[in-house]
Structure 1
């Protein structure tokens, strides 16, 4: 998605402009600043291209009133930071915004066909036009990246002057200038032709530049360039990995590593926020007397943010999330423990009548009789009347999917370690429900169910192995019968509620809890606008409404407009990671799904024509 056109900077005479009078280019929403246009990503504005700058100068350039501090202790502890900050807004009333740097620097002129760095065109100040032809310059369509996260210009000189017997040290010293032209015969790379005016080499097309070993054959390796940190910034550790050619707008150029957490008691009241920078030190003290001494030294007598009893309760809550028996728990283990604690709290609830007005998590038992849901195999519905989720940008990757390998090559957001990360908070409401454990255990042990899910797991594992740099480091597919069942049910409920409750499906989101001891889902509003606080979703969790919704959703799920092709899909004979699932039945907008619309199969809900008993809800659908 390209941001809106650029706007001129307001007059700074009233003192509202930032300390550096930088030109303004386009707008980006706060949510996009961590999910689409985060640090290190490429952003197109009109006919120009930029890379979003790192966070090393953010403490100075991000204004406190436009980039407030956000606290979420459980997530901050997981990511080893003290707090989070909202990215600065860039709307009509904002005074500043995200800082960007021009990238790639190589541009071409469609009139004279010159291909050279942007500054060599001698453009007028604040404009990106050819100083000779006065037409808009075109940023290079091609960049190169490595799996360690580095990003660099495409080596046009080496590509044109390539030759097995050519001295690579002489490349670029031929005295000629590069030219780029398009033949117009086809829309393929063969029509993009690069030449050099030196006359020593013939012109060559860009065909073949995207081969995995195209640049390796030229003996080119990554130089560790990090343009988002500065034009001359390189990785001090070096690199040397192979580089791949990418389209500037490719999704492989930048993939965010996002982590999120719900605010749950005892942290959800916000009372602990003043102690955000002190918890790591308070955890080191093993008795209340030493904690008292520390608080007196920091805050003074009688000026503590919280009473000692409440501080001890919070420290005990932290210890409950520690992994017993794990001497060196991995990040994934700690993240799983965070989810487990959320599942416990969603099951137990948090009554609003017993909490203060500042409480950010209110989860109550419905007023209706939950026994009406027993024939469905659904139990434990909870009405989450208030919730808050914080989503933080931990790092980013290039080429590799961070979820596909146990050793992801994540690139940090700054050159120097920071004690905070950019994040977005969502406040809204939701419905939590669980599947009956006894009925679920009997269903998932059925041979036909296990065999069908194994086909999906095999296809997914094959994809993970292909995406991982080293197949031995690829993560194991999470596909299990209960995981696929819970995931698909969440999708059909979101689709149903988008029809019955008036919510667009893109404003709803799933949060899945599927493991050996968990089988539940939270469906909640996932936007920061008014759709998150209208109360229309919570009422859908009342048993009588939920019973009607589930039955209606199952009836819709029995048939798809793409049947019989959809129901007869076979993951074993393709690279697909779904079975009976397509955009006409159960798939959702990518923003609503935790697993990128994979590991879905509506046959596990309602069965198939050949095996109606395969579905978990088969007794309701006549299977």
Structure 2
């Protein structure tokens, strides 16, 4: 194939999820590609995220956070690319003829054709070669091309033609393997030379060492062999990104991006060179360069360098790692005057909400539902940091109840940085009356129902964040958040996949809140559609509609009476018709959902939220 680079555009926000390091994606020329690890990225041309120390400590990250490289396509100048691209490689390396089904290894190397042209089969002369869609993965995150010859002849050639006395040896330069359909539609690999055949779907084989395609990452001395499993490239087990999110909250979010302090942080390398200069002439030249770069005077720069406060990072803030949601909850519930340009801006509408409820007349049901909401906050602007920590794959030998190992973005876990993106958007935050919720969750029948889900979770292979505890409070908040997302999709016009949930649930700390927000990496700002719904009159209609939607599902009574559904039966009255949302919108794998925790079940004696409120008001 003609040696020429080609480029495929990918959304910025996908580079920490399904198009991140190790993923297999299809490019614009219909090739399957593997995104290469960060050791091959141009880190020197990547920007570092600043004012994120609090988020890093909460996420237990000590590395720097760098934005993925950005390249722009210029059609006006000979179709040139400006900036830095992320390298990929063609994978799988095998291709199959769509007529004779024979396999060829990297046939593009012997064909002088353009990248977007098709490759003709050299065996039958009639077919077109297409990439096979099969790969081999291990439960240690490894990835290989399928060793077709090894699998086909794994039974020591016992199926060979008896007249062929020679052992069949592999030869990737000679086409002698083909894929055919066997009994019951199962795929079979067949050797045209010796006649050996074997089923390869979900087949296992051993390799000594850990590989990422052609690169041996490390050799395991303790293990006799690593088990690899053959699966399709789009199998969910073939790739699972591991990423985490955190809100940037005050004081870090209050930084003025136009201030000299912030500019100094962005140009930390230049500032360190000035501080480390040993000769006066060198120092003067660096200062002159810095004043031109930072658009400031020499006196302003010297004053900033001498002021410890300008170079002190927010890492001096006392932070308890892991208490991220508690800090976010405090920031969301505490009124504050925000500086212009802050990355976190809230408007507290609780007083307006209380007045609006008191003025409601002739709508006792609405008043009852409204009194469940304690605080109402419009989040006019928020900044979310999403960090890509690595990826995992799985094979058939994964031990039960044992977490799947995570492969770091650089494969060898030696880099001092991680890829991360920053998302900007808006949202609605509200809290429920903690005293009323305590009365509601004290019901023994509710606790027993939640205990059933908790037991199933303990017996499952599913791993969720630590805060996801299937208590009555959490299941209720999570289900309510999902129904609100579905309501927002029709009310605000946002696709459900573009919305995110954040659940604040801790009976010990009195946390009973939900944040629904939208945040994207491609634009800095928001459309205002969600925060408009934070107005008391519009939010009441939204909240009431969500409570009514929880009462009924188009698949009732089946959905409402299910003993269990979803992964590991971790949902009960929740299905695609009522409470499930796109995976991108849910932080907890679409589990721990049950509408009964909102609507109740009179036949079982389980009270609804509204029943508890009516008793409290009565």
TM range (shorter): 0.7 to 0.9
Question: 378, 403, 408: which is aligned to 1:383?
Answer: 378
Report the Cα distance in structure 2 between the residues aligned to 1:277 and 1:398, rounded to whole angstroms.
Answer: 38
Q: Deviations over 1:376-397 (max 9, x none)?
A: 3221222211111121211111
Q: Is the Cα–Cα contact under 8 Å of residues 239 and 391 in structure 2 kept in the other structure?
A: yes
2:42 aligned partner: 59
- C-alpha distance in 1 between matches for 2:404 and 2:267: 29
| 1:105 correspondence with 2:93 | yes
Tell me the TM-score normalised to structure 2 length: 0.78
Which of these two proteins has the greater Rg computed from alpha carbons? 2
The aligned residue for residue 328 of structure 2 is: 342
Q: For 1:411-560, what aligned pairs fall within 5 Å after superposition?
A: 411-415=407-411, 417-464=414-461, 478-516=469-507, 517=509, 518-528=511-521, 533-560=526-553
In the alignment, the residues of structure 2 paired with residue 108 and residue 53 of structure 1 have an alpha-carbon distance, to the nearest angstrom, of: 24
Conservation of the 8 A alpha-carbon contact between 1:73 and 1:276:
no
Residue 458 of structure 1 aligns to a residue whose secondary structure is: helix
Question: C-alpha distance in 2, partners of 1:235/1:306?
Answer: 48
2:32 to 46, 49, 64: 49
Identify if the C-alpha distance between structure 1 residues 295 and 556 changes in structure 2 by more than 3 Å, giving closer, same or farther. farther
Residue 150 of structure 1 corresponds to: 142
Secondary structure (helix, strand or coil) at the match of 2:546 reads: helix
How far apart in 2 are the matches of 1:406 and 1:436? 39
Give yes or no for the alignment of 1:302 onto 2:312.
Answer: no
Structure 1 residues 596 and 277: alpha-carbon distance in aligned structure 2, compared to 1, 3 A threshold: farther
CA RMSD in angstroms, aligned pairs only: 3.9
Shift of 1:74: 2.6
Could you tell me how far 1:178 is from its partner in structure 2? 3.1
User: 235, 250, 253: which is aligned to 2:238?
Assistant: 253
Residue in structure 2 matched with residue 182 of structure 1 by the alignment: 180
Give the whole-Å Cα distance in 2 for the aligned partners of 1:87 and 1:449.
Answer: 50
Deviation readout 1:199-240 (Å, 9 max, x if unpaired): 2x533343xx41xxx425xxx23531113xxx3343255663
1:194 paired to 2:184: no
8 A Cα contact 2:440 2:612, kept in partner: no
Residues 1:409 and 1:380: Cα distance change in structure 2 (over 3 Å): same
Partner of 1:290: none
1:118 counterpart (87, 91, 106): 106
2:445 touches 2:605 (CA, 8 Å); kept in 1? no
Query: 2:204 maps to what in 1?
Result: 215
Contact 1:85 1:420 in 2 (8 A): no
- Equivalent residue of 2:42, what SS? helix
Aligned to 2:119: 129
Tell me which residue corresponds to 1:359: 342
Distance 1:198 1:156, change over 3 A: same
Do the aligned partners of 1:178 and 1:194 also contact (CA within 8 Å) in 2? Answer: no
Contact 1:174–1:198 under 8 Å retained in 2: no
The alpha-carbon distance between structure 1 residues 194 and 315, as it changes in their structure 2 partners (threshold 3 A), is closer
Partners of 1:296 and 1:370 lie apart in 2 by 64
User: What do residues 358-383 of structure 1 show as CA deviations (whole Å, max 9, x unaligned)?
Assistant: 21111121161436378532212222
Q: Indicate if the aligned counterparts of 1:603 and 1:615 stay in contact, CA closer than 8 A.
A: yes
Query: Residue 55 of structure 2: which of 75, 85, 91 is its match?
Result: 75
TM-score, scaled to structure 1: 0.77
Structure 1 CA distance, aligned partners of 2:505 and 2:74?
43
2:104 is paired with a residue of what secondary structure? Answer: strand
Counterpart contact for 2:37–2:409, Cα < 8 Å: yes
Instruction: Report the Cα offset of residue 41 of structure 1.
Output: 0.9
Q: 1:435-489 deviations in whole A, cap 9, x for unaligned? A: 222122222221111011112222233322xx58xxxx99897211111111111
* Alignment partner, residue 198 of structure 2: 204
Distance 1:104 1:24, change over 3 A: same
Secondary structure at the aligned position of 1:571 is classed as coil
Tell me which moved more, 307-316 or 51-60.
307-316
Contact 2:373–2:431 (Cα < 8 Å) also in 1 = yes
Q: Which one of the candidate residues 14, 28, 31 is aligned to 2:13?
A: 31
How much does 1:561 deviate?
0.7
Distance across 2 between alignment mates of 1:433 and 1:29: 31
User: How far apart are residue 513 of structure 1 and its match?
Assistant: 1.6
SS of 1:456's equivalent in the other structure is helix
| Ranges in structure 2 where 5+ consecutive residues have no aligned partner | 76-80, 159-166, 288-300, 358-366
Deviations along 1:16-46, one digit per CA (max 9) or x if unpaired, are xxxxx84215332222222111111111235
- Cα–Cα, structure 1 residues 250 and 532, in superposed 2: closer, same or farther, change >3 Å? farther
Aligned 8 A contact 2:149 2:170 in 1:
no
- Does residue 396 in structure 1 map to residue 391 in structure 2? yes
Whether 1:370 and 2:354 are equivalent positions in the alignment is yes
- Any idea what the Cα deviations from partners look like across 1:117-138, whole Å, max 9, x if unmatched? 1148722244462462374322
| 1:265 corresponds to | 250
Q: Matches of 1:427 and 1:25 in 2, distance apart?
A: 27
Q: Give the whole-Å Cα distance in 1 for the aligned partners of 2:139 and 2:614.
A: 48
> 1:400: Cα distance to partner?
8.0
- How far the C-alpha of 1:530 sits from its partner, in A, is 6.7
Tell which has more relative contact order, 1 or 2 (C-alpha 8 A, sep 6+). 2
Preserved contact between residue 146 and residue 241 of structure 1 (Cα < 8 Å): yes
Q: Please give the alpha-carbon distance, in whole angstroms, between the structure 1 residues aligned to 2:567 and 2:11.
A: 38
Confirm or deny: 8 A CA contact 2:48 2:266 kept in the other structure.
no
Partner residue in 2 for 1:327: none
**More displaced stretch, 441-450 vs 392-401:** 392-401
- Rounded Cα–Cα distance in structure 2 between residues aligned with 1:295 and 1:617: 69
Contact 1:87 1:422 in 2 (8 A): no
- Which residues of 2 match residues 153-172 of structure 1 at below 5 A? 153-163=145-155, 172=169
